[in-house]
Structure 1
Amino acid sequence: MDKVGALAPDFELPDQHGTPMKLSGFRGRNVVLVFYPAAFTGVCHSELHALREFSTDAQILTVSVDSMFTQRAWADQEGYTFPLLSDFWPHGQVSQQYGVFDDMKGLAKRGTFIIDGGGVIRWSVVNPIGIARDVADYAKALADMS
């Protein structure tokens, strides 16, 4: 589902500490919104480690259907300081809004959406669950927005 050029669906989800975070609360800043299937898994581990090292002024928000408690344990173990948002209940509702929910597996596909300060999706990529994304593509997309 191509959403480039559309207003990003707003949402509110708890982060790994239980703090509610609303996408529209980041208006005025670019946002890199990264959906991933599950914490503590190999490909997700490598992708979030790359995000941890990613240098950007954009706000990074990651989302999976894991519970807030799972997100917290993983963030603490791996040293992730960006928000890990829980799309746990209603199960996958935000992932569905972005067209990245896999109904058969009950998980999010690997979708990334770069949203500008006005809330418009400027770039996106959606990969199957087993195929990693490249953070360098995010950097290029953000640079192209400048």
Structure 2
Amino acid sequence: MAIEVGSQAPDFELRDNHGRTVRLADLRGEKNVVLVFYPFAFTSVCAGELGELRDSLPTFVNDDTQLLAVSNDSIHTLRVFAEQESLEYPLLSDFWPHGEVSRAYGVFDEEKGCAVRGTFVVDKAGTVRWRVVNALPDARDLGGYVKALDAL
């Protein structure tokens, strides 16, 4: 079960598609975070969702907000995917230990071995203020993300 709105977002340390370490704790007190879990790179629904985020990037990457996308792919896969899709925001690898962060957020599908489509809006204090969790085939609506950020 996904973590509840109002709870403290589990901290994590993951490597991005360029091999840089990203820590949620480093953003506390500085930025709101839109944390987007997606199943796999190079799949049509994932590419579509991440492309929509790319096309609305100033809404999700600015002085107050940082977008972080997380999958269980390796950093090497994510690097190629980001280049192919022109994704200019961090794609984080929850590859090893496999799905550890996805599990902490309650969005890891043990049977499929990947994250489901979970999004969490985390405020500057590190509290989850909004969430949506969809099944693997169901794309999310970015309008919900925008409303949640506007409410902060």
TM-score band w.r.t. shorter chain = over 0.9
The reply on whether 1:88 has 2:95 as its aligned counterpart is yes
- The AA in structure 2 aligned to 1:79 is S
Pick the aligned partner of 2:52 from 50, 53, 74: 50
Structure 1 gap ranges (5+): none
Query: For 1:83-124, what per-residue CA distance to the aligned partner results, in whole angstroms no more than 9, with x for missing partners?
Result: 000000000000000000000000100000000001000000
State the Cα distance separating 1:2 from its structure 2 match: 4.3
Alignment counterpart, residue 76 of structure 1, candidates 67, 79, 83 = 83
- Taking the aligned partners of 2:138 and 2:41, their CA distance within structure 1 comes to 15
Are residues 1:118 and 2:120 paired? Answer: no
Deviation of residue 78 (structure 1)? 1.0
Structure 1 runs (4+) deviating above 4 angstroms are none
1:34 corresponds in structure 2 to 36
Shift of 1:48: 0.1
**Alignment TM-score, normalising by the size of structure 1:** 0.97
What is the aligned partner in structure 2 of residue 67 from structure 1?
74
TM-score between both structures, scaled by the size of structure 2: 0.93
Shift of 1:3: 1.6
Q: Give aligned-pair identity as a percent.
A: 55
Aligned residues: 145
Letter of the 2:19 counterpart: G
- Counterpart secondary structure, 1:124: strand
Q: 1:47 & 1:26 partners in 2: Cα distance?
A: 24
Aligned to 1:141: 148
